[in-house]
Amino acid sequence: MRIACWQTVAGGEAPRTRLRATAHEAAAAGARLLITAEVSLTGYHLGPRRLRQLAEPGDGAMCTEVAEIAAEAGIAIVFGWPELADGNVYNSVRMVDKTGETLATYRKTHLFGDIDRAIFEPGQTPVVQAELDGLTVGMLICYDVEFPETVRAHALAGTELLVVPTALMKPWEIVAQTLVHARALENQIYVAYVNWSGSERELDYCGLTRVVGPSGFALHDDVHGEQLVLADLDPMRITKAKQVNDYVADRRPDLYGSLSTDPA
């Protein structure tokens, strides 16, 4: 399956206007799935007051418009927005299929510093998946992937492609360049890590969107500026990686299961 990852520059023209053109471009290039950055429909670092003003429920105008774009372009889309639900605002990501039907919605479970905690409530569901073209696709958001337990939970649940919309800023390039590769390797899955570029208020995003294969290697060169990255995924690469050494099967949870709990 071919996927497209859209690294876009923060600010400028309305994100949803650019999304429509990008969805058509990705579909024309043969992609079956377009993945966008964290809170891609509004921008990530707009401040608590502005994000609360923009927050909408899952059946609001923003999500409805993306569903229409997906159906118009004939491509599945992963997108993020500030979700209003039960009086709270969540940092959410949704996957819709090529007809615009909602496949899954995930709320960020690990909030990053005051930027997240000043506005968002944490989600409580660690593993959210959907089937797309025979591939099991899971979703995390940004800081979530920096916790090994989250990705291992996906691997144990059968995720083959983990999509991670992010808003990674400088000087944390090491997350994209090293940690994301380790997560893919140690769980033998594909990881699509999709970032912003440019600046938003005082944040300077580092770009470096990447698709990493189950052997820990990126499928393309580093990405800078606004760019649509295409990558072809082959589930057989997951099988072959596990034939060399199967990290999941070779675990010894009887020895270290307690490490996932806080000490008394």
Give the confidence band of 105 by pLDDT, cuts at 50, 70, 90. very high
- Tell me whether residue 108 is one of the annotated catalytic residues: yes
- Domain ranges, residue 114: 2-260
Strands 210-212 and 203-206, sheet pairing: unpaired
Alpha-carbon distances of 233 from 39, 135, 202, 212, 218, rounded to whole Å = 25, 10, 36, 10, 12
Residue of 63, 98, 108, 206 with catalytic role? 108
- Coil, strand, or helix at residue 54? helix
Find the CATH number of the domain harbouring 139.
Answer: 3.60.110.10
How many CB atoms are closer than 10 A to CB 115?
18
pLDDT at position 114 is 95
Residue of 5, 63, 142, 206 with catalytic role? 142
Tokens found for residue 209: 């969107």
- Between 166 and 16, the more confident residue is 166
Count of domains in the chain?
1
- Tell me whether residue 200 is one of the annotated catalytic residues: no
Distance, CA of 159 to chain centre: 13
Q: Which of 94-108, 175-189, 237-251 has the lowest mean pLDDT?
A: 237-251
Tokens found for residue 240: 């072959």
Q: What is the largest CA-CA distance in the chain?
A: 56
Quote the CA–CA distance of 133 and 98 in Å, as a whole number.
11
